[in-house]
Chain A
Amino acid sequence: MSKKKIVEFSRYPIAFLALFVQIFLIIAMFLFASLAFTPEGTPASEQRALGAVVVYGFIIGLFLSFTLWEIGFSIREEQTRGTLESLYLSPASKVSSLVARVFAILLWSGGLSVVAILFVGGVVGGLPVANAGLALVVLLFSISGFLGIGFMFAGVTIKLKETAQLLVNGLQFFFFIFSAQFFPFAALRQVHPGIVDGVSKWLPVSYSVDVFRSLLIGAAEPELGLGWGIEILIVVAFGLVSPVVGYLIYKRLEASARREGTLGEY
């Protein structure tokens, strides 16, 4: 399935290129937006720190969005084409089938992330890259956690069909804001301290963003204030528990669709 997805990807060179260009444009837009609020005479080091906040948060956002979209969209496509029912009659492992759907896009996101770091680094004159090894481990656990959310949405897509896409869209924007993917958590605190304490701190994705970003920037402490040990533990637990829970939810929704005979219905 992964190989099939990679072959499919390679057949659409425009899509490949478009994704690349899109990433640069989004980052450039946010950099210009921050420029509009940067007072004249701001030291270059602060501009670099801000660039790092934007791009490192964006990388987590990229993996999360692609995982959410790709699994749900690919299930939806199978529904529309009428191949989902036949696929579920085959003796192939369901979990492999789900992971394989995102494999190609995750590989591609990794490449995009490296180029995004180089691009922003080039624009702002270099980005801080501290604790890269540990940050990578955090990223891997985070991706595993995102896969769990993706599995859950695969189940929701089977149940809700077209409406699930809207839900994914909403969830994506929810995480953009409440997990502070494009700005520091301090910005949310300025609006209302309750947003961070009442919403952000309850989202495992926020810890993925915070730990990954703070590690790479080389901050003394992560922004959410629970300390390195606890925040890293939350990310690891998220990476281990989320796929299991997500898969169980998916199996439940799939079983219910099979019972009702709505698996292939779209």
Chain B
Amino acid sequence: MAAAALARGGFGLGRPGWRAKADIVRTVFVARIKIIARYKGAIFMESLIPIVFAAMPVLLGTTVAAQQGEDPGAVFCDTLLRASPTCTTNYKLYMLIGAATFSVVSLMLWLIGYWVRREQETGTLESLYLAPARRFWVLAGVTAYAFVRAMIAFVLAILLGSLLFQVNPFERGIPLALLFLAIGFLPLWGLSFLFGAFILKIKEADSVIQVLQWVLAFLMGVFYPITLLPPLLRATAGLFPPTVVTDGVRASLLDIDFFYGSVYGSLAVLFAMAIVMPLLGYQAFGFTERRLKRREGVGQY
């Protein structure tokens, strides 16, 4: 209690400056990296999972089209043409991008959700609240680590998957695809905060993460163009930042239409999400924290 009062008071004149705040982010980031470095196979497995994920619809789609004596690429292109003026026959790369982007979203949610849950279970979350550091900087360190780990998995998955599926992701649109990923990090960050708040409140991390990642996969159109969804679901899907990121990366690399009509439209929507989501997420996290502190405390699990 004394420590909490001291921390609230900002340690008299000793408020942490920018250098100290950056140091918190760095320390948390390095600590998480050190922990994951102990599990050598984890990163490799995380890169393989999107490839397996992409392989399943590719194999399924190939059979479906072949049964009708059609070329899978041509049928896939026809499906895209039903809702937009451009299409691609490169369905393998389409699936690979979807699965790799999904792995980024999924990893971010798992890593943040599990971090909160682990700290709760091991009893260190309360101690963290007594430390003279704002949660924002601690969370920034954790999310930065989650993003770096997710991006390593993304890049490895795209590279290995491209070799396996014999597709070339480097033909066009790399800078634009990277721009979508970079801007997309901010709304994902906000989404992770929202998610962390939710875990803090309801505690059942495993089930919530699992179901939410499939909801996202469904709405993101990991295995299919979201134009196949009924109108209401399609509109809802368009409001999810991961959908816009996946669509943006796909449209950049495959030269197909953007969900919001043009590259500017999709970038503008993603920019808006990049501003709104982190604010919303952090507010929700702060609100949940305050409520929990007033009631049962953050350590209860």
Residues of chain A whose beta carbon lies under 8 Å from any beta carbon of chain B: 12, 14-15, 17-19, 21-22, 25-26, 28-30, 32-40, 42, 46, 50, 54, 162-163, 166, 169-170, 173, 176-177, 180, 182-184, 186-188, 190-191
Contact = CB atoms under 8 A, between A and B. Distances in A.
Interface of B: 39, 41-42, 45, 48-49, 52, 55-57, 59-68, 70, 72, 75-76, 78-79, 91, 202, 204, 206-208, 210-211, 214-215, 217-218, 222-225, 228-229
B60 A173 contact: no
A43 to B, nearest CB: 9
Contacts of B48: 170, 173
A42 B79 CA distance: 13
Given A25-B218, A29-B222, A40-B78, A166 B39 contact: yes
B284 to A, nearest CB: 19
Given A32-B228, A34-B61, A26 B214 contact: yes
B223 A169 contact: no
16 contacts: A12-B207, A18-B208, A29-B214, A29-B223, A30-B60, A33-B61, A35-B228, A37-B60, A37-B65, A37-B72, A39-B70, A39-B75, A39-B78, A166-B42, A169-B45, A190-B66
B41 A166 contact: yes
Contact of B56 (A35, A42, A50, A176): A176
A187 B208 CA distance: 34
B223 A173 contact: no
A243 to B, nearest CB: 27
B223 A33 contact: yes
Given A34-B61, A37-B61, A39-B65, A14 B208 contact: yes
A183 B60 contact: yes
Given A15-B206, A176-B56, A36 B217 contact: no
B211 A163 contact: no
Contact of B41 (A46, A163, A180): A163
